[in-house]
Homo-oligomer: A and B are copies of this chain.
């Protein structure tokens, strides 16, 4: 009984070591990335973790609560990605364009993830408050970047919220069309569309003179 701290043996069905909740989220995300949202089953994540298929109900009210948590994490990651792109490209016009590109890239890199974040899977469902909060925080990054550009006279003085929604719709629209296979399927084409969009967004589609 000397080396007491080290357990004699740990059978592989030992995810109760403290954070089954985190493990469930992680396993769910992996399943989603592999099989899509429709392929996510509670029984499946239970198996992955060597845990009963009902163990999850100790940590989440139901399947949609688990999905909401996954989505909230997605928005955290997205926000970090956007901030990084904006700052690394030196803010301003270049930074803003980089942010737009980063948004679309995030979506096409994690299509199932992105789909969970936006209504598709939670259609008509009561939205989770944490999810609301993280979504709002990600949106705020865009608003802040716009206001900063307005102060520097890089963007016209429209109502920032309306402007932000408009631009969000553009990148979200490109992202969704790409994910749903309605754009030429190579990433280069999507990238090029995103770049084109950020450019036309600046100057508009009216003729040159």
Contacts and interface: CB of A to CB of B under 8 A. Distances in A.
Contacts of A162: 192-193, 196
A50 interface: no
A207 B154 contact: yes
Most buried by B among A157, A158, A169, A171: A169
A181 interface: yes
A165 B177 contact: yes
Nearest to A169: B173
B155 A207 contact: yes
A176 interface: yes
In terms of DSSP, what is the predominant structure of the interface of chain A?
helix
A53 interface: no
A60 interface: no
Given A123-B36, A174-B169, A203 B206 contact: yes
Interface string A110-135: 00100100111001100100000001
Interface string A184-209: 00000000110011001111111110
Contacts of A167: 205
Contacts of A176: 118-119, 172-173, 176
Contacts of A203: 204, 206
